Structure 1
């Protein structure tokens, strides 16, 4: 076991999968944000701001609440980027040692990267759902919204922990 203060600071280049995930995550997020910004002037006085598990609207609010929703990722994502860049401060199992530290760091950084990009995609999906519902009065994702968000939110973590379990 390596104590946190004794953990090496390794320079591990980003993998192709991490680079690809960044391209997809940021592209989808930027696209969803642009979609909201372009359609913002056309939104009605009340738009859906909360959806139930069945995809039905639970609460309506002002389109100006979208500004808060658009601002949240700009607070969240820099923190997730920082977490991704310093894998030596992450939590590891007792079986981590000097011979497998690089594998654990890479695994943890990949989980962080995929989770960050999944968050970006989730924000974009929510932006699109709210905007489309406001413009058309119909849901884009409907009852698939919650399962889609859960898969995106939990998928990278479960996949990463399964991969971590294989590290010797």
Structure 2
């Protein structure tokens, strides 16, 4: 395995903005869950089919998984982004292109972090809305939209890396 250059790259304003947005969404998810806990029925929808309709049910305590998973992903991706020289890259890395490649990889992780936190925040909000009877399902558009956003982000950053 080839040893990649180790560089110390400062965080960009966009990365900082992503972190602020992620923390706000995480806090909102937790507060919203706590505020609605007593109103939630003991059984809530926890799984949805391809049409966005609830087809699986579980304890309302199951809803703790979403903000917890979101927090774990946020922390994990934040730590991982500090070590871009440990990543696998689709292109050869050398001292000349390392700053661009590392910054692009860090930005990709930053986008993924905020997208995942927003997704889990939306899912939790939507499930609570469903459980309280304010809406039905999560919408048929969610899965295609998430796939386009996630894979679109990856493709855009791979194109940037190739330049």
Regarding TM over 0.5, the answer is yes
**2:156: which partner in 1?**
159
> 1:85 aligned to 2:74?
no
Judge conservation of contact 1:119–1:152 (CA < 8 Å) in 2.
Answer: no
**Candidates 26, 50, 60, aligned match of 1:29:** 26
Q: What secondary structure does 1:39 align onto?
A: helix
**2:46: which partner in 1?**
49
CA displacement, residues 41-60 of structure 1 (integer Å, 9 cap, x when unaligned): 11012111011221111101
For 1:29 and 1:155, the matched residues in 2 are separated by: 24
Aligned length: 163
For 1:75 and 1:133, the matched residues in 2 are separated by: 25
CA displacement, residues 90-149 of structure 1 (integer Å, 9 cap, x when unaligned): 112343211111100001111111111111111101111111100125237422222333
Judge conservation of contact 1:133–1:140 (CA < 8 Å) in 2.
Answer: yes
Q: Over the residues paired in the alignment, what is the CA RMSD in angstroms?
A: 1.9
For 1:59 and 1:85, the matched residues in 2 are separated by: 39
**Candidates 67, 83, 90, aligned match of 2:64:** 67
Shift of 1:32: 2.2
**2:10: which partner in 1?**
13
Q: What secondary structure does 2:57 align onto?
A: strand
CA displacement, residues 5-24 of structure 1 (integer Å, 9 cap, x when unaligned): xx222111111221122222
> 1:102 aligned to 2:116?
no
**2:126: which partner in 1?**
129
For 2:125 and 2:145, the matched residues in 1 are separated by: 14
For 2:132 and 2:149, the matched residues in 1 are separated by: 26
Instruction: Calculate the TM-score normalised by the size of structure 1.
Output: 0.87
Q: What secondary structure does 1:136 align onto?
A: coil
**Candidates 104, 112, 115, aligned match of 2:112:** 115
Q: What secondary structure does 1:96 align onto?
A: coil
Q: Which runs of 5+ in 2 are unaligned?
A: none
Q: Which runs of 5+ in 1 are unaligned?
A: none
